[in-house]
Each structure stands twice: as C-alpha cells, then as structure tokens.
Copies of this chain bind each other. A is one copy, B any other.
Amino acid sequence: MGLIVQKYGGSSVADAEGLKRVANRIVATKKAGHQVVVVVSAMGDTTDELIDLANQVSPMPHGRELDMLLTAGERISMALLAMAIGNLGHEAQSFTGSQAGVITDSSHGAARIIDVTPGRIQHALADGAIAIVAGFQGISQDTKDITTLGRGGSDTTAVALAAALEADVCEIYTDVDGVFTADPRVVPSARKLKTVTYEEMLELAASGAKVLHLRCVEYARRFDLPIHVRSSFSNNEGTWVVKDHPEGDTMEQAIIAGIAHDKSEAKITIVGVPDRTGTAARIFQAIADAQINIDMIVQNVSAAATGLTDISFTLPKAEGSKATEILTKIQGEVGFASLQYDDQIGKLSLVGAGMRSHPGITAQFFACLSEAGVNIEMISTSEIRISIVCRATDLEKGVRAAHTAFDLDSDQVEAVVYGGTGR
C-alpha cells in the first residue's frame, strides 16, 4: 500500500483504445491497494493541431493566449481518461494544473514550477478516488493566468506532484521498456538498465538520450524521488532512476552506465579571430543575447606569427541560421576572417558515475574509436562524462565500438523486443 504517481504521454492516450488500455492499467494499480495519481499529456497530435490553428489566426500569438489554447489539450485527455476509469466502476476525478495547485512563474510557454499545493488531490485521494491531473500546465502566482511548462512539462508535473504528495515513486510510462545502455536501433545488443543515478541520467539526457527530460530528472534529484521509467505496452520492470546504485548490484556498478548519441547539432567555426582579450566574450554575448544555447566550445591555440585563432562551437541545428546571421552582423566589429557552418557532425557521449574512480577511461575510449576508424574533431568532459564530436557518418560505428569496448553488450540481442521504437 503506497502512493503512486503515474505519468502517461500523448502516444499512450492517442485514441479511445489507448485511453481504455491506460484506464485498465490505472485500475489494476488501484486494485493492488495503492493510492493513484495520474498525470496525462494531450492526446496524440492535439498540441500540434492547436498550434497550427493558432498560426492560422496570428503569426505571433500572445503567450498568455497560446497557453490558454494549448491547455485545452490536456483538459480533453484527462476528462476522457476519468470517464474511461469511471466506466470500469472506479471513481476518478480530473483536475487542471490550476486545480491541482501547480503554481508557476509567469513565463508563458516555459513556466517554472514555484510551488505545488495539492489540497484538492489529497482530498480526492482521501475520498478513495483516483486523481487525474493535466500535465504541462499550471497557474502563475502573480497574474493567476494559465501557464504551460514547455518541453518535458508533463514529466516535470508528475515528479513535482509526486514530491509534493510524498509519493513512493513516480512512474513515467513511455513506449520503450526503460533506459538502455545505448539506443537499441543503433546497438541491437543494448541492455536495459535496472538502475541509473540522477547524475548519470542528467548527463545522458543532456547528451541526446530522449527517454526523460533534463528538467524532470533535476526535480527528482532535488527531492530524492525515485522515478520508474517503464513501458505502457507491457508489464515489464523498467529502469529505476535513483540517488545511488544499490549496493551489491555488481552489474550496475559498471564504470559506464550508457552511451548517448546526438545528431541534432551543428558546428560553427569562426576563422581568423584576432587573439585579443574580450573578443570571445563579445562573440558569445551576441549569441546568448539571441537566446541561443550552445553546447561545446573549442578554441585553437593562437598562432604566434599571425595573432589569429579559430573558435568552434556546437549548437542545435535549428538555431544554425540565426547564429550565422548574428555573427555576420558583428564580423566588422570583431574582425574575424570567415565563418564555416557544418551540420554533418555527430556527438558521442560516454556516461558513468564510475568514471570518477577509474582513470584511463578516456584513453580506452579514444583507442576504441581510433581502432574503429572514427576521427575525433572536438572533445568535452565532465566529472562523469566524455563527449566527442565526429563526422555524422561515423557516429553509429563509434557508438557500437564503444559499447563493445566497455563491456555493455548483452548476451541477448534485445532489438527484437524494442526494435524501431527504442529512443
């Protein structure tokens, strides 16, 4: 007997059949003796359809109104889910973000949760009901306007509610069986992880693993709330995201937890930058002013003869043209020679808490890439992660080589089970 918060994404509730299947799963959890709070996303493509409608009436819709519009999506899915549960003979009540006490700041479209005051949810639970809560939305503390949380918002709602309710676990249901040592579409022998630490999951998510959003993992870490990532299509145990790997679980004390890869970034190289104090700052301030997030930065040593250097950085491909435009504008002021834009790169990241206590990982990693014929173009490291940039065409080869080199391959090929969907 415990309190379980479950989160179902849009693909799990895409149609009436999906809603009924999810309703059955929720009722099974309730019947097992638990109190159940469910966070649900909008059905299937609803959000995209609403955005499309908004664009038809206004090229630049006001954030307050866009949030009002988009929150209709979860309102629909949560009410239908409550009805589907009711049809199974169990009491369910749906609550908007505002009714569930999800208090945010007023950044429409990307609001941050300030507080969660789930009085009505607790009341519903005390009455023996299942509470269904709209993900992705809240109410602003200052203006009392409806807000949305932006990308990863429903996962974050679930974790935040679970923390506020002091739930035993937050179950995030998705279309894969958990977190894998690598993307099973690239590495058929990838293994599902039993556990992964918050730290490792944060690095994996930041490096391209899409199963959980950074924000929700950060939130879970802050409140030390266990997340159980599992499939809504099976009853298999998934992956637990926790503070520490359980002691004695030797399998999980592997040095490397997993390998993430990312083809969504591009590289910009600024050629012939005068090597003067403040130049790099001027360049990256201009990029930051445009709200462009950059990832890795490399600056070559200045050639003494010329006093010029090259600066390369990676950024999301979607921001490529904006960044190029901004840099071109300041070319005269900064005085660099030219720009190179390269969107044929891939990023490969090795993540593992065990890295701290095991020197030599970097050397082993580079050696295996070299043997596989993968040329390293950029390098960046954290305490528990090494990332490299290589040609996009070499990326999958590199992932497989590293997966084998660090003993992550399973005896069994799991691709049969997770084929095609394993993000």
Contact = CB atoms under 8 A, between A and B. Distances in A.
Given A68-B79, A72-B72, A75-B69, A16 B57 contact: yes
B80 A57 contact: yes
A69 B46 CA distance: 14
Interface in A63-98: 64-66, 68-69, 71-73, 75-76, 78-84, 86-87, 92-94
A56 interface: yes
A75 B68 contact: yes
Pick from A20, A60, A73, A87 the residue with the most CB of B within 10 Å: A87
A54 interface: yes
Given A72-B72, A72-B75, A75-B71, A66 B53 contact: no
Contacts of A16: 53, 56-57
Interface residues of A, number: 39
Contacts of A80: 53-54, 57, 65, 69
B54 A66 contact: no
B87 A65 contact: no
A340 interface: no
Contacts of A87: 57-61
Given A57-B87, A58-B86, 17 more contacts: A16-B57, A54-B79, A54-B83, A57-B80, A57-B83, A58-B83, A58-B87, A62-B86, A64-B93, A65-B82, A65-B86, A68-B75, A68-B78, A68-B79, A68-B94, A72-B79, A99-B144
Interface of A: 16, 19-20, 23, 50, 53-54, 56-62, 64-66, 68-69, 71-73, 75-76, 78-84, 86-87, 92-94, 99, 120, 144
